[in-house]
Chain A
Amino acid sequence: MDAQSLESDALAAVAAASSVGDIERVRVEYLGRKSALKLALRDVRDRETGMALNTLRERLEAAIDAREAELSRAELDRRLTEERVDVTMPGTPIRRGHLHLITQIRREVEDIFLGLGYTVVDGREVETTRYNFDALNFPLGHPTRSPLQTLFLDEETVLRTETSPSQIRTMEAQDPPVYIVSLGRVYRRDTPDAMHSPTFHQVEGLAVDEGITLGDLEGTLDYLLKALFGERRETRFVTHHFPFTEPSIEALVSCHICDGSGCPVCRHSGWIEVGGAGMVDPNLFEFVGYDPERYTGFAFGWGLERIAVLRHGIPDLRELWRNDPRLLRQF
């Protein structure tokens, strides 16, 4: 075997190889088990020849590897230029469900108050008149006590008309300080229409501590309203009346649709009523055995649906109970 011509033949073949397949054939021909070099190596008897042939093998291997790398890189480059997808084609669908809008708002409100260091309390939905009315300072003859407005199970049992009974049950179960929110279903004896649903959802907030003031209530609600409707919103508080708070107020937020200049959503007033609030009436503290001189507190109870209507433009509360997939998917 003429090592020199073998080498020059092999290198010529390497140089001539134009594909990864070609170079594999060159590898088999010159370095394979039946190649002249392998056969010669097998027959080598002297060290010198062996070293020379082995060096030749290494040189050929290196040349082939280098050419192979070059060719495969070229092939990859070619493939990368040829392969294209229509990037605007839709992807493989992966099914995803949707949380109900009211759940999303519920969580948002919970998270706002968790961030303020409040706990979340689950109240009962079926309540005694004692907790739903008496403890909350509803006077006899208050319209909400009437079977025209409230759903009764029997003389002394109702579906809660607001989340407020959870205030009483919480205060009965613990000493101050109390910082809670309670969210859930409430019931009124309403005929369903666009703005009324016999079942709806409220968030109740209650803070009882030494030194709580009306300013703390207004500050907390301002924080909540900005979190819900945007940092640029302004808030305003006006007088109101509820049996369980004294003084009582109603919260208004500057209209997020028209920025206060007047539109149908805010009835051209620039302001939107969001819900009621007030300082906890001392009668509630007396009912649960808190000292009304030492402790003061504030409470509020707002409808989550009202937030959905205002913020997301829900035109009709009944839509929220329709469970049409086209509707659920929006949120």
Chain B
Amino acid sequence: MRAPLSWLREYVTVDATAEEIAHRLAISSLEVERVIDAGVADTDGNLGRFLVGRVLEAAPHPNADRLRVCQVDVGEGDARQIVCGAWNFEAGATVAVALPGAYLPIVDEPLDERALRGQLSRGMILAEDEVGLGEDHAGIMVLEDGPEPGTPLADVLPIRDHVLDVTPTVNRVDLLSMVGLAREVAALLDGELHPPAPDDPAIVDVESVDVAIEDFHRCPRYIGRVFRDVVIGTSPQWLRTRLYLADMRPISNVVDATNYVMHVWGSPLHAFDRSKLAGGRIAVRRARPDEELRTLDGTLRKLVPEDLMITDGEHSVALAAIMGGEDSEVSEATNEVLLEAANFEPLGILRTSERLGLRTAGSNRWEKGVDPYLAENAAVLASRMIVDLAGARMTGHVDVHDGLPERPVVRLRPERASFVIGLGVAPDEQRATLEGFGFEVSNDWDVTVPTWRARDVTREIDVIEEVARPVLDKVPYTMPLRRHVLGRLSKQQRLRRVVEDVLVGAGVSEAYTWSLVGSDPNPDAIRLRNPVTSDQEVLRTTIVPGLVEAARTGVDAGADDVALFEIARVYLPSGKQLPDERWRVAGVVAGGYDVVKGVLETLYAALHLELRVERGSHPSLHPGKAAATEAGWLGELHPTLLEGAWGAFELDLDTLFAPVPERIVYEDVLTFPAVLQDIAVAVAEDIEVGALVDAAHDAAGALLREARVFDVYRGEQVGEGRKSVAIHLSFQSPERTLTDDEAAKARARIVAALVDRFDAELRA
């Protein structure tokens, strides 16, 4: 919302600059997006070069059909000659004049005296856009009579202003109004609040107003007022300017009055052309099935029975609280007006506005819950303006409601407020703060909440927030006093960091890919009900596909050694309301099976685990190069997924971490040296080397500390269909030095087992 300070200062007298006001509001009340400098510059006496003038004479220009030569009194004694191109005024008009030397906001050079088609022009008669007071350039500003020629223009119009651009939080709809903002400024900066005093026009030739509410829950209050002899026209300059500075478009006197009053009091209004209402009636009810309404933006709206409608008993004439209907819109031909100052329940308005995708200045306020008491203030001010601006007579008034809500009363303990804030705020100061915000505080601290805060402030803690708001920048910084401390990572969190660090050390970079994917290999994967896009509608059950995409990005970027991992959740259907969320680590690395196996061996070794795999299968993997392990799978990526040889893996972290030892116990590996021996055996091609190693361990028992395959050879000497496997053996006892004989016997047992179980042939 835009709040011109010149307007705000009409409701609050305060000795504070725009910056001070913005600063204080930003701390204690609402977000101040910015302070806009509006209008003409205020340097080097520039403001003094803008004056009120009276046109004494407006004669045709001797040399130009479109221009006139005017004599204008600007209080200097002699009249000034000013050449002017506008025709919307005659002699006698009160106008705004800029003298030579004045800087206008729209041009860089100062105005100078010059001859226009041979006639000297010693100044300029101003249009509203030339001084930042509007957008209209059809004619010059004709001011209301009153101010004497020579009066500084700044006394009459806000040609120099600051405009606050503010956004209240959703609980502070009361701050979407000039009076609400003025109240905050008065309370926070020790100002004096004076909201517009009620000046209700008298009802003449009284007639009854027929308003019926069918749904008091959705429409708790409806004030209807009737005006006759309405003359629709343009609004006076001061009103046009205020609306313009507040970022609203001037339309016509009656519509402008409703917008203006909404801005003043925060309670939106609507004006109907009463002649378009059947019988001049208003009936508030839900929409009928299949009902439609063309709103005044020209759109035909399909309605549902949840929508609240303003009708004339026969047809809908407005989408309540959101937008009027086109048929009953106030137009230049209107001469009877029905003014609506009502109140609407927020949730229903929000639902309709969301469903239709239609948000307006009105709905933005209603959906946050407007104080129903404000309807009367708004009706009174708008009525005064319609009577004064449109020459109307007010002939009818009705106020329909089913009782207005009570104001909440909350007991405050001032010492509790000081405790929660962490700052001693004197009880007197708390009382003064609350009263400034419009609360009433009894002697024994019963706090009566003002009507405009009744939705938001219902408990002691809510009142404490009111006490805290003004002192947020005075609260001393402290730390909690701790008696119990437990600051450490869990085993899983600690090991997750190990996994990250080991993979990074192994040359694998961490990628972040989306949890939401377009499709997932698991047909039961959970789907969103309201996805934004079809490529993010399923909760993934596997991470690798996302990493494959990421790897492709890397390849496309020209990288030749792409290696990526990710630690993230997958979401497995559980048959219950919530899926089984599992932490996984997955990776995609350039290079084939050997590379990914090496990466995982490094990872397992860092976790003090042994990577044991068996032949497996996985849709993402090359069928001949796929392995399964207890925690998941690894292998070479299926060649249809990504060009070239790529390793991939995906492991469940809980399963991976379960066997990780809590601590490593010292083992003596130094005192008694290992006896190292290598063997080479020839076996059939389909025998897995892992089976040979397992058999060696079985046969040699604890003495065999390590058996590691270091070479596989195929060739003529080994024979067709066979391979020679070279295994490095390390025998060691923690208790004694092994004799050559002991090692030889263990080796012999291994060879015998390999020959026996695998038809192996000892080659070395």
Specify which chain A residues have a CB less than 8 angstroms from the CB of B559 in the assembled complex: 325-326
Given contacts A113-B487, A125-B581, 10 further A-B contacts (CB under 8 A): A99-B510, A103-B500, A125-B569, A127-B578, A153-B529, A179-B480, A207-B480, A239-B169, A323-B554, A329-B509
Residue contact B473 to A103, C-beta cutoff 8 Å: no
Contact A116–B478 (Cβ < 8 Å): no
Would A328 and B489 be within 8 Å (CB), given that A97-B504, A141-B367 are in contact? no
Contact code string A104-128 (vs B, CB < 8 Å = 1, else 0): 0001001001111111101011111
**Docked CA distance A249–B422 (Å):** 14
Of the 9-residue stretches A15-23, A61-69, A185-193, A254-262, which lies at the interface with chain B? Answer: A185-193
- Report the minimal beta-carbon distance from A317 to chain B, rounded to whole angstroms: 11
Determine whether B442 belongs to the interface, using a CB cutoff of 8 Å to chain A: no
In the complex, identify which listed stretch (B221-229, B253-261, B464-472, B685-693) lies at the interface while the others stay far away. B464-472
Tell whether, in the assembled complex, residue A151 and residue B528 are in contact, meaning their CB atoms are under 8 Å apart.
yes
Is the beta-carbon distance between B530 and A151 smaller than 8 angstroms?
yes
Q: Which residue of B lies closest to A280 (CB)?
A: B461
**A177, B170: Cβ atoms under 8 Å?**
no
Which residues of B sit under 8 angstroms from A97, Cβ to Cβ?
A: 503-510, 563, 565
- Decide if A128 touches B578 in the complex (CB within 8 Å): yes
Binds A, one of B7-15, B26-34, B612-620: B26-34
Which of A226-265 touch B at CB < 8 Å?
236-241, 246-249
Smallest Cβ-Cβ distance to B550: which chain A residue: A323
A147 close to B511 (CB less than 8 A): no
Of chain B, the residue at the smallest CB distance from A249 is B472
- Are A241 and B172 neighbours in the complex by a CB distance under 8 Å? yes
CB of A198 within 8 A of chain B? Answer: yes
Report whether B487 and A323 are in contact in the complex, using a CB–CB cutoff of 8 Å: no
Q: Which 5 A-B pairs have the closest CB atoms?
A: A215-B422, A213-B422, A95-B507, A241-B169, A219-B477
**Bound Cα distance from A324 to B562, whole angstroms:** 10
A223 touches B461 (CB 8 A): no
Chain B residues packing against A (C-beta within 8 Å): 26-30, 34, 169-172, 346-347, 350-351, 354, 367, 419-423, 459, 461-462, 464-465, 468-469, 472-473, 475-490, 492-493, 497, 500, 503-516, 526-532, 536, 539, 550, 553-554, 557, 559, 561-565, 568-569, 571, 577-579, 581, 583
**Assuming A127-B578, A198-B516, A198-B536, is B530 touching A147 (CB within 8 A)?**
yes
Closest to B537 in A: A151
A125 touching B481 by the CB < 8 A rule? no
A96 within 8 A of B: yes
The complex places the Cα of A99 from the Cα of B504 at a distance, in Å, of 7
**Chain A interface helix/strand/loop/mixed:** mixed
CB proximity of B520 to chain A, nearest CB, Å: 14
A236 CA / B26 CA spacing, docked (Å): 11
List residues of chain B with CB within 8 A of the CB of A148. 354
The distance from the CB of A164 to the nearest CB of chain B, in whole angstroms, is: 17
The interface residues of chain A lying within 8 Å CB-to-CB of B484 are: 177
List of A residues within 8 angstroms of B531 by Cβ? 151
Tell me the complex Cα distance, A115–B563, Å: 33
Are B579 and A126 neighbours in the complex by a CB distance under 8 Å?
A: yes
CB neighbours (8 Å) of A247 from chain B are: 420-421, 461, 464-465, 468-469
With contact pairs A211-B481, A214-B475, A222-B477 given, residues A99 and B500 touching in the complex (Cβ less than 8 Å): yes
CB distance from B98 to the nearest CB of A (A): 30
In the complex, are the beta carbons of A279 and B507 less than 8 A apart? Answer: no
A214 touches B421 (CB 8 A): yes
Q: Is the CB of B571 within 8 A of A241?
A: no
**A98 interfacial by beta-carbon distance below 8 Å:** yes
| Alpha-carbon distance A120/B583, docked complex (angstroms) | 16
